[in-house]
Amino acid sequence: MLWDRGVLHEENVIKTLGLFADLRGGKYEERFARTVEEMKKGTPLIYQGVLMHKDLLGIPDLLQCQPNGEYLPEDIKSGSGMEGADDDTGEEGKPKKHYAVQLALYSEALQGLGFSTKRAGRIVDINLQTVDYDLDLPLGPKTPGTLWSYYQDTKAKVIPLLKNETQNKPAMASPCKQCVWYESCKKWCKTNDDLSNVFYLGYSKREKLNADAGISTVTQLKDIDVDVLTQRKKKDKKFLHRIGEKELVSFKARAEILKVSKKPRLYQPVCLPTVPIELYFDIEDDPTQDFVYLHGVYERKDGKGTFYPFWAKTNTRDDEKKAWAEYWAYIRSLPPNGYSVYYYSSHEKTNYKRLLKRYPDVVTQEDLDAFFARDNTVDLYTDIILKHTDWPLSSYSVKEIATYLGFKWRDETPSGALSIKWYNDYLASGDQKIMQRILEYNEDDCKAMMVIKDELIKLSVG
């Protein structure tokens, strides 16, 4: 589904380009020959050309002819062009390494073919902004090497894998669910009691624990002596580098929960608002269009629940604004101190900051800040789940925890990515059944948060 979203964003970008040589379709060898022919002619813009040089094969979204006749590779991405960029603080961020690796491959191929002398590329991001990547820039003030050397190191690791000369182990991580190999990797990790089954223990830390301390399974992790490992770290700065004592304690506790108690653990009682009205709040948005199409609120009052969907019937800015205005009208209709709001992670807050900039007449900066700052507004994931709990799960997502607690979505394939597809299907067909499917999915997401909140209360009272 992420692929589909990326394709949709790419199509939207292509519509803005004007004339270009379209090299989609055909075998790689044929497209490569046509690409070289177009570059020799000095064609200003080439879409979906193929670059082949020695053992390299790349398909940049765009090849842009520069004033000196050389070509610059560009890729269209449905994410931000830089990592850590923040419009609010003015932080520009830094180049994304995985984007840089892709651009570097194109750049190396172009240099080998004689169509470029620069190690450079460009990203067209989700906001249609162009971000230039100078691949000779250093990775960071404290990190040795450049983006280009990082690419060379990555390539040196990948080539033996492609030749089956070496093999690496699967690992579980948050982006994995969008991968076609997810179920296969998940099965391998479960069967082998792999460390990446432990929440927040990613690939690099797994490899470090394995190489430095000989810890390769969750069973071994639960039995570690943190004091012994910590003392060894003090003597050897390279030992378990970037894995601190607190992390070791946390990893050990999570391993014990996975292997021994197999029950959730609340480290201290949580104090949640006691008010007449509880709101469980979730949005649906399409990042490829930078568009929020649904604000869903499940209201619980006097033991009864009501779902309020505020949604855009078309993907126009007018309807996006209307839906957001309706949401705020609903919020303003509630007694100021008589309701609580629960949401899960920073997604809603981040999107609302963007909507504020787009529609400043709907809600003020002060009102939006006050809404998220109020004591009765709770980010369940950031404020409670991450800080005060652990679960016998590899992921602490709302779907994983709610499912563990026995909640079931009405849809057989509940997914935020699928919701985007459903919305685009609805726009194309006008089929109200599709819209109803989206609303039910969003309502169930909200109810799932309620199930988690209720469980936290139960755990708090013992």
CATH number at residue 335: 3.30.420
pLDDT, tens digit (0-9, with 9 covering 90-100), for 120-176: 999 999 878 899 999 999 998 888 899 999 999 999 999 999 999 998 899 998 778
d(CA 381, CA 282): 13
HEC string of 158-219 equals HHHHHCCCCCCCCCCCHHHHHCCCHHHHHHHHHHCCEHHHCCCCCHHHHHHHHHHHCCCEHH
Give the residue from 220, 212, 221 showing the smallest Cα distance to 251.
221
Q: Do 206 and 248 fall within a single domain?
A: yes
Domain residue limits at 282? 277-461
pLDDT of residue 87: 60
Q: Do 157 and 178 fall within a single domain?
A: no
Q: Do 346 and 251 fall within a single domain?
A: no
Number of domains in the chain: 3
| Model confidence, pTM | 0.85
Q: Does 269 map to a domain?
A: no
pLDDT, tens digit (0-9, with 9 covering 90-100), for 216-231: 999 999 999 999 999 9
Q: Are 369 and 356 in contact (CB under 8 A)?
A: no
Q: Does 370 map to a domain?
A: yes
Q: Do 347 and 204 fall within a single domain?
A: no
Q: Does 415 map to a domain?
A: yes
Overall average pLDDT of the 81-100 stretch:
81
Q: Do 183 and 319 fall within a single domain?
A: no
Q: Is the pLDDT of residue 103 over 70?
A: yes
Q: Do 354 and 434 fall within a single domain?
A: yes
Q: Does 167 map to a domain?
A: no
Q: Do 412 and 323 fall within a single domain?
A: yes
pLDDT, tens digit (0-9, with 9 covering 90-100), for 244-280: 999 999 999 999 999 999 999 999 999 999 999 999 9
Q: Do 19 and 121 fall within a single domain?
A: yes
Q: Do 318 and 195 fall within a single domain?
A: no
Looking at 162, 197, 228, the residue that finishes a domain is: 162
Looking at 129, 162, 195, the residue that finishes a domain is: 162
Q: Does 224 map to a domain?
A: yes
Q: Do 216 and 241 fall within a single domain?
A: yes
Q: Does 270 map to a domain?
A: no
* Cβ atoms within 10 Å of 441's Cβ, excluding its own: 23
Q: Do 256 and 282 fall within a single domain?
A: no
pLDDT, tens digit (0-9, with 9 covering 90-100), for 323-335: 999 999 999 999 9
Higher pLDDT, 8 or 242: 242
Looking at 137, 162, 187, the residue that finishes a domain is: 162
Give the residue from 313, 318, 285 showing the smallest Cα distance to 417.
285
Q: Is the pLDDT of residue 2 over 70?
A: no
DSSP output for 257-291: IIIII-S-EESS-------SEEEEEEEEEETTTTE
Q: Do 438 and 319 fall within a single domain?
A: yes
Q: Does 117 map to a domain?
A: yes
Q: Does 267 map to a domain?
A: no
Gap between the terminal Cα atoms of the chain: 41
